């Protein structure tokens, strides 16, 4: 069994005429937490959707366990998805079901286990995210952080090999942020998962990731362990990591020269 | 100027045709599948309740009033010719052939169709559909298919209930209030209503309307722009488009069934 679970080779993806990724390659090691960072609007969520087979790339391969996801037929794609979990930014809990039924949903859909076993599995997953006591609540009654944890319990319900987190820290208070940081790391180790975290929260990501890719301008501009990245020579990577407002990524949106525009108005 | 207009017209037409293509693909994806009764039957039952049973009240009340109005209006005209005994057939035929299927479809579009669109649009906006897909569950089969069948099954039944209540409403006004002979009301109806020509054709109409309204409602929700504005637009479009489609198809079906 190779060490690499997900192997993205020469990926090109366009949305209309806009190129999102241009000949990009990355690899996610089995059993590790790999993070993908980059400024907002560069299509980090798109990358997760490409891995999940919800979008098809223009060119390139996305290999998971050696299977090229974009070329799979519907049946094989759905089979491959059973080994993936994805945590959406909003949680995407089904609003007409309780927390318990949400977590039980994938188990009921894909197995024919008796209800007692399902109950055991659901309570186990809810215990792992600390929400065993909230099983009877409806999603609307949960706080943002709790909803994300409940969605996490659902994403790991069928013990996937790969779990993808879409901006797991966005909009969280410091406590729930800490809880989620700890959960991502501990679930990864306890369940032997391979985790992919897409985020732009530099400090949190650097604290849990084994390997980090920084994506900007349609490709990978820097990669390495968090320590390697901190010492990265690229000015763009440094600007991103340190959160400077101006640098290779300009503060101003592309525009004509300001003085020229003012002169124009004066006329 | 003219070229611009032509271009706009062309773009508009292409967008419409693409939309129809997407709607067809959606329905195809939802319905063409190996049946799994163990999973789909409970889902269908729940939707029959939401779509059908919960629409019952509005159908009963509207049916009653429409039957009563028909009898009142019919009586004033018929009594001028001394033909009050034809009130039964007048009420029954109007309801069976036209008002039952059409008004039920219009009410259904407003009550259940708009709810379906909003529900599915919101599911899309909150990534519930994507989430389901990532859990290897096809939202077309899990969400769209049971709602579609529930609409197609319940609307013809609602139309029949509407018609039956309307006929009773007609009786209430015509016989109990205006004094038309009760036996005459029923016997003239029995003599003039043909099972195939009137009842069956009415049911066929209402099945066609059910297909149209449910399909439009589901497609508009599934295709909605996932923002609050997009969903509100989609909901409005469901009601407007399906009402117009029902009236248009009603004319075509009437021409085919009763025109010659």
Write the residue in B39, B127, B137 that is nearest to A88 by C-beta.
Answer: B127
Consecutive 10-residue averages of pLDDT for chain A (267 residues):
84 86 89 86 84 89 89 89 88 90 92 92 90 90 88 90 88 83 88 88 87 86 87 82 74 77 83
Q: How far from B230 is each of A37, B121, B133, CA to CA, in Å?
A: 31, 8, 22
Residues from chain B that touch A92, judged by Cβ atoms under 8 A, are 126-128, 130-131
Query: To probe the interface with B, which of A47, A92, A139 has the most B CB atoms within 10 Å?
Result: A92
Asked if B128 and A89 come within 8 Å (Cβ–Cβ), the reply is no
A93 in Cβ contact with A130 (< 8 Å)? no
Per-residue pLDDT at B92:
94
Structure token digits, residue B249: 């198809």
Predicted local confidence at residue A46, as pLDDT: 87
Angle between the N-to-C axes of helices B56-80 and B145-171, in degrees from 0 to 180, rounded to the nearest 10: 40
Distance from CA of B134 to the nearest CA of A (A): 6
Contacts of B133 in chain A (CB under 8 A): 52, 54, 81
Which chain A residue has the Cα nearest residue B134?
A81
Kindly report, residue by residue over B120-148, the tens digit of the pLDDT: 999 999 889 999 988 888 898 889 999 99
Q: CA–CA distance from B133 to each of A43, B46, B129, B227 (Å)?
A: 20, 21, 6, 20
Q: How confident is the model at residue B177 (pLDDT cuts 50, 70, 90)?
A: very high
- Show the domain range for B252: 2-258
Q: Do B137 and A94 touch (CB under 8 A)?
A: no
Give the closest residue to B145 by CA, choosing from B207, B90, B215, B54.
Answer: B215
**Beta-carbon separation of B135 and A109 below 8 A:** yes
Identify which of A85, A92, A154 has the shortest CB distance to residue B126: A92
Q: Report CB contact under 8 Å: B134, A109.
A: no
Distance in Å, alpha carbon of B43 to nearest chain A alpha carbon: 12
E strand spans, A130-230: 162-166, 194-199, 211-216, 219-224
3-state secondary structure B80-93: HCCCHHHHHHHHHH
Q: Residues near A219 by Cβ (< 8 Å), separated by ≥ 6?
A: A21, A22, A23, A24
Contact with chain B for residue A72, Cβ under 8 A:
no
pLDDT of residue A217: 80
- A56 touches B at CB < 8 Å: no
Instruction: Please state the separation of Cα B88 from the chain's center in Å.
Output: 25
* Cα–Cα distances in angstroms (integers) from residue A206 to residues A37, A129, A266, in the given order: 10, 22, 50
Q: Which two tokens stand for residue B192?
A: 């003039």
Of A79, A95, A106, the CB nearest to B135: A106
Q: pLDDT at position A1, please?
A: 58
Say if CB B168 and CB B182 are below 8 A apart: no
Partners of residue B137 in chain A, C-beta under 8 Å: 105-106, 109
Banded pLDDT at B94 (limits 50, 70, 90)? very high
Residue B9 contacts by C-beta under 8 Å, 6 or more apart in sequence? none
pTM listed for this prediction? 0.86
Number of domains in chain B: 1
Cα-trace Rg, chain A: 20
The pLDDT score that the predictor gives to residue A242 is 82
Question: How confident is the model at residue B187, as a pLDDT?
Answer: 93
Nearest CA in chain A to B125: A92
**E strands present in A30-112:** 33-37, 59-64, 67-68, 84-87
Write the CB contacts of A223 (distance below 8 Å, at least 6 apart in sequence). Answer: A26, A211, A212, A213, A214, A229
């Amino acid at each position: 069994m190779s060490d690499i679970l997900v192997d993205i080779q020469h990926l090109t993806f366009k949305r209309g005429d806009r190129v999102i990724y241009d000949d990009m390659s990355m690899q996610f090691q089995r059993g590790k937490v790999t993070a993908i960072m980059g400024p907002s609007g560069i299509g980090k969520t798109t990358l997760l959707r490409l891995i999940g087979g919800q979008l098809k790339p223009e060119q390139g391969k996305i290999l998971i366990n050696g299977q090229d996801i974009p070329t799979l037929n519907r049946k094989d794609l759905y089979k491959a998805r059973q080994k993936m979990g994805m945590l959406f930014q909003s949680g995407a809990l089904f609003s007409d079901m309780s927390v318990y039924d949400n977590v039980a949903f994938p188990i009921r859909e894909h197995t024919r286990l008796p209800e007692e076993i399902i109950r055991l599995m659901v309570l186990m997953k809810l215990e792992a995210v600390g929400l065993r006591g909230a099983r009877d609540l409806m999603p609307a009654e949960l706080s943002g952080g709790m909803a994300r944890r409940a969605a996490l319990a659902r994403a790991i319900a069928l013990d996937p090999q790969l779990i993808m987190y879409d901006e797991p820290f966005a909009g969280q208070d410091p406590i729930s942020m800490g809880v989620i940081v700890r959960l991502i790391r501990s679930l990864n180790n306890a369940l032997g998962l391979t985790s992919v975290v897409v985020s732009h929260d530099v400090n949190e990501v650097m604290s849990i990731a084994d390997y980090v890719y920084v994506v900007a301008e349609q490709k990978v501009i820097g990669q390495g362990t968090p320590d390697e990245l901190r010492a990265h020579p690229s000015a763009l990577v440094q600007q991103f990591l340190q959160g400077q407002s101006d640098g290779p990524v300009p503060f101003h949106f592309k525009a004509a020269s300001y003085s020229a525009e003012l002169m124009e108005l004066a006329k | 100027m003219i070229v611009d207009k032509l271009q706009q017209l062309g773009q508009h037409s292409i967008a419409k045709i693409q939309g129809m293509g997407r709607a067809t693909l959606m329905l195809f994806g939802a319905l063409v599948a190996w049946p799994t009764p163990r999973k789909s039957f409970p889902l269908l039952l729940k939707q029959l309740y939401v779509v059908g049973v919960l629409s019952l009240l509005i159908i009963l009340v509207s049916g009653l009033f429409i039957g009563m109005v028909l009898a009142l209006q019919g009586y004033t005209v018929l009594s001028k010719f001394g033909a009050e005994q034809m009130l039964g057939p007048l009420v029954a035929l109007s309801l069976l052939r036209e008002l039952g299927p059409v008004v039920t479809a219009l009410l259904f579009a407003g009550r259940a169709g708009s709810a379906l669109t909003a529900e599915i649009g919101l599911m899309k906006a909150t990534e519930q559909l994507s989430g389901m897909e990532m859990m290897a569950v096809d939202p077309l089969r899990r969400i769209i298919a049971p709602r579609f069948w529930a609409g197609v099954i319940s609307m013809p039944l609602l139309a029949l209930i509407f018609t039956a209540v309307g006929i009773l409403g007609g009786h209430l006004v015509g016989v109990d209030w205006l004094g038309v002979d009760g036996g005459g009301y029923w016997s003239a109806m029995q003599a003039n209503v043909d099972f195939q020509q009137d009842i069956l054709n009415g049911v066929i109409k209402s099945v066609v309307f059910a297909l149209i309204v449910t399909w439009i409602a589901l497609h508009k929700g599934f295709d909605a722009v996932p923002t609050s504005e997009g969903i509100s637009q989609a909901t409005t479009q469901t009601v407007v488009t399906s009402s117009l489609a029902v009236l248009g198809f009603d004319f075509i079906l009437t021409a085919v069934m009763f025109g010659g």
